A and B are shown apart, each in its own frame.
Chain A
Amino acid sequence: MKKVKIIEVHENVFNSNNVAAEELRHELKDKGVYMLNVMSSPGSGKTTALSKLINILKDEYRIGVMDVDIETSLDAQKVADLTGVRALQIHNGGLCHIDAEMTSKAIEEFGVDDLDIVFLENIGNLVCPAEFDTGAHRNMMILSVPEGDDKPLKYPLMFSVCDLVIISKIDTMEFFDFDMDKAKSNILRLNPKASIIPVSAKTGEGMEELAKWIRAQL
């Protein structure tokens, strides 16, 4: 019979990422840079809402955007065109998420010493990005009205890890069966500490409140 040598490990697989994320968070804090991780499903209007928000804040703060995508440079280009701020496209090679190590490398390439706020626009996906701490100081996610008020029930982890949930496209409320109170209670049941801000990037409703929330974090 073969003899077996066992090496006990007992380590959480996410541990190395969590450690790297904590290091990055400290490093950015020391530099005076505040990073926000923005998550959502594809098509939630993330790039548009983010561009509007940046336009409100860009005279007060030096802002940069890092956009994670599988293939194209469309998002970074769009944000740069709409806001005039510096944007970097990160291609993550087809993975479903970005982790702290990838974020750290991107930060190095991007150069953040001259910035106050960095928005990390994560991959459009409500599952995987929630599992991986990127090293951001705050997590926010965008839930758009057409997606439905039951999304928090279907993707509980995503809603549990967010400090802020933005309910976007509220100008389309009349066309969809979206119950705002139900959406809010579904979110708060999972995450009692979450801030919730309904906005419309199109009409501008709620955008000032959103900017206020960001200012309060700095």
Chain B
Amino acid sequence: MHELGVTFYVVKDVKKVAKENKVDKIDFVTLEIGEVSGVIHDQLIDCWNWARKKETVTESAELNIETLEAITFCEDCQAEYRTVDYGKICPYCKSENTYLLRGNEFNIKEIGVYDEDDEES
């Protein structure tokens, strides 16, 4: 993919959400990434750890990644199957007439802030 390019998008979106919610500093960001979105997680985390330092609001934020399973649908036999196991060819009827139902996601799921005031209690 192009991990650095998308990292800038994540930073930009996270900044926007933080501002809307009047948060000055965030502690973690959780992404939802589809299994076949082509994103290399380790590279994305490396890019994030470099890019986050450029903004005060993100500088100490950890990046968490949740993987979403990829599912393909077969138009000929109407079956659904795991994309990663079988690719484009339906394991039930061997048809190539299939399309990806999900697994291509690249979403920001949530951002998290530790509540400083409650830390001591």
Chain B residue with minimal CB distance to A190?
Answer: B88
Do B105 and A12 touch (CB < 8 A)? yes
Cα–Cα, bound, A69→B98 (Å): 37
Cα–Cα, bound, A8→B14 (Å): 11
Distance to closest chain A CB from B90 (angstroms)? 15
Chain B residue with minimal CB distance to A15?
Answer: B13
Indicate if B107 sits at the interface (CB-CB under 8 A). yes
B interface footprint on A178-215 (CB within 8 Å = 1, 0 otherwise)? 00000000000100000000000000000000000000
Indicate if A218 sits at the interface (CB-CB under 8 A). no
Do A127 and B108 touch (CB < 8 A)? no
Distance to closest chain A CB from B63 (angstroms)? 12
Cα–Cα, bound, A16→B107 (Å): 12
Contacts of B106 in A (CB 8 A): 12-14
Do A97 and B115 touch (CB < 8 A)? no
Do A128 and B5 touch (CB < 8 A)? yes
Indicate if A216 sits at the interface (CB-CB under 8 A). no
Do A2 and B5 touch (CB < 8 A)? no
Do B5 and A96 touch (CB < 8 A)? yes
Q: Which of A1-19 contact B (CB under 8 A)?
A: 2-14, 16-17
* Contact residues of B: prevailing secondary structure: mixed
Indicate if A173 sits at the interface (CB-CB under 8 A). no
- Interface residues of B, CB < 8 Å — how many? 29
Do B5 and A3 touch (CB < 8 A)? no
Contacts of A6 in B (CB 8 A): 110-112
Do B115 and A131 touch (CB < 8 A)? no
Decide yes or no: A7 and B107 within 8 Å by CB, A96-B2, A128-B1 being known contacts: no
Decide yes or no: A8 and B1 within 8 Å by CB, A2-B115, A13-B6 being known contacts: no
Q: How many contacts between A and B, using CB within 8 angstroms?
A: 80
Contacts of A9 in B (CB 8 A): 13, 17, 107-111
Decide yes or no: A10 and B5 within 8 Å by CB, A2-B119, A5-B113 being known contacts: no
Interface size class of A (residues with CB under 8 A): 20 to 34
Do B108 and A11 touch (CB < 8 A)? yes
Cα–Cα, bound, A97→B5 (Å): 8
Contacts of B107 in A (CB 8 A): 9-13
Chain A residue with minimal CB distance to B9?
Answer: A13
Indicate if A56 sits at the interface (CB-CB under 8 A). no
Q: Which of A128-154 contact B (CB under 8 A)?
A: 128, 131-132
Contacts of B115 in A (CB 8 A): 2-5
Do B2 and A131 touch (CB < 8 A)? yes
Contacts of B110 in A (CB 8 A): 6-10
25 example contacts (A-B, Cβ-Cβ < 8 A) are as follows A3-B114, A3-B119, A4-B27, A4-B113, A4-B114, A5-B23, A5-B112, A5-B113, A6-B111, A7-B18, A7-B23, A7-B110, A7-B111, A7-B112, A8-B109, A9-B110, A10-B107, A13-B31, A14-B106, A16-B9, A95-B2, A127-B1, A128-B1, A128-B2, A132-B5
Residues in B lying within 8 Å of A, measured CB to CB: 1-2, 4-6, 9-10, 12-13, 17-18, 21, 23, 27, 31, 96, 105-115, 118-119
Q: Besides A5-B113, A9-B110, A96-B2, 6 other CB < 8 A contacts?
A: A6-B111, A10-B109, A12-B106, A13-B108, A16-B13, A97-B2
